[in-house]
């Protein structure tokens, strides 16, 4: 990977703050730093609570996008899923209306402060909207223990669940959920997300047969090429997801999905629909349920419109400087 001097990186930085249409993971305004490199634009947007050792991988991904070429694509467009945050069931149709052509939906479950009936009602509303043919996936972000996960999945099974993403926090728990589902005759796959992108050993999931597939994100794994290497080493089908990115970050996710030899259906790269703005006048939004392989170019006007206050820009620049010495080799 090309590693530019820190001064060059900081000189090319633009920091933006874009409001969310719907709060997602507690985020109401999404902040990110964009870098214009010789190869294109990169995005550095680790969530605010991430410390430099973890955030440094996000910086590596931004540098790769800005300074290096992505791997050759094996497809020219990538199918994407709709994403439904942990909202009340009556809000589901309005959210899905923003995802025309998407026949796969990922539904957030396990939100703190909500009951499991809220999860069931939300999934039921998605199934009503999709009809019998569409795919439904659920994402718990590690919210449950094994008993709670399997109990909830028994309630959700009548709605036709493709897979549950990260039902529990640990790899042994994922393995136990997978085994419990098989014993109970529930045809629901287990997908690993945090156990890949937050793990010191992302291959442990495959070694312990704890998942049927992996969900990978470019930024937390340090770039498109590193993510490809991890998927290859895992030997499991993969879905690519985003991290509440602008079109710049979404494009890197599309590049990864396009380069994967074995892509497991629609990817979670339609999340720009959850944001109330973007940095380019031609946002990377799904059309007929797909996204093209491309490199969006932010406009000077939108970078200015969404520019953060000087104090926040200083904070982000200091964050980049703190991450820079920790860039992965």
- Looking from the CA of 29 toward its CB, the CA atoms found within 13 Å total 9
Catalytic residue among 108, 189, 198, 314: 108
Q: Is 8 annotated as a binding residue?
A: no
Consecutive H or E run containing 176: helix 171-183
DSSP characters over 224-266: HHHHHHHHHHHTS-EEEB-SS--HHHHHHHHHHHHH-SSB-S-
Residue 320 CB contacts under 8 Å (≥ 6 apart), including other chains: 6, 9, 10, 13, 33, 44, 59
Q: Going by DSSP bridges, is the β-strand pair 77-79/41-44 parallel, antiparallel, or unpaired?
A: unpaired
193 labeled part of a ligand binding site: yes
Tell me: is residue 7 an annotated ligand-binding position.
no
108 classed as catalytic: yes
Q: What DSSP line would sit under 293-314, residue for residue?
A: -------HHHHHHTBPPHHHHH
The three-point CA angle 264-123-86 to 5° equals 95
Residue of 189, 198, 217, 314 marked active site? 217
Largest CA distance in the chain: 57
Write down the residue that tokens 């899923």 correspond to: 81
Closest to 36 measured CA to CA, from 252, 322, 284, 298: 298
Residues annotated catalytic, as ranges: 108, 217
List residues forming the annotated binding site for Mg(2+): 139, 165, 193
């Amino acid at each position: 990977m090309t590693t530019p001097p820190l001064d060059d990186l900081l000189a090319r930085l633009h920091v933006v703050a874009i409001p969310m249409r719907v709060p997602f993971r507690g985020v109401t305004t999404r902040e990110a730093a964009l870098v214009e490199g010789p190869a294109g634009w990169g995005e550095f947007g680790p969530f605010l609570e991430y410390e430099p050792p973890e955030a440094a991988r996000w910086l590596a991904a931004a540098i790769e996008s800005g300074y290096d070429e992505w791997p050759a694509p094996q497809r020219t467009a990538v199918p994407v899923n709709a994403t439904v945050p942990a909202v009340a069931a009556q809000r589901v149709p309005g959210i899905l209306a923003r995802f025309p052509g998407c026949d796969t939906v990922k539904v957030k479950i396990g939100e703190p402060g909500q009951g499991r009936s809220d999860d069931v009602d939300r999934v039921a509303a998605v199934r009503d909207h999709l009809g019998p043919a569409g795919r439904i996936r659920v994402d718990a972000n590690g919210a449950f223990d094994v008993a709670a996960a399997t109990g909830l999945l028994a309630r959700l099974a009548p709605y036709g669940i493709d897979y549950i993403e990260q039902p529990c926090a640990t790899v042994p728990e994922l393995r136990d959920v997978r085994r419990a589902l098989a014993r109970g005759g529930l045809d629901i796959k287990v997908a690993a997300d945090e156990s890949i992108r937050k793990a010191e050993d992302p291959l442990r999931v495959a070694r312990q047969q704890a998942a049927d597939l992996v969900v990978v994100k470019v930024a937390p794994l340090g770039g498109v090429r590193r993510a490809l290497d991890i998927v290859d080493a895992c030997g499991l089908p993969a879905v690519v997801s985003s991290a509440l990115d602008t079109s710049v970050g979404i494009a890197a996710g599309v590049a990864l999905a396009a380069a994967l030899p074995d892509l497991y259906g629609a990817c979670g790269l339609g999340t720009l629909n959850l944001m109330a703005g973007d940095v380019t006048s031609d946002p990377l939004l799904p059309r007929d349920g797909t996204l093209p392989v491309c490199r969006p170019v932010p406009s000077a006007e939108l970078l200015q419109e969404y520019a953060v206050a000087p104090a926040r820009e200083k904070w982000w620049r200091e964050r980049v400087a703190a991450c820079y010495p920790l860039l992965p080799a």
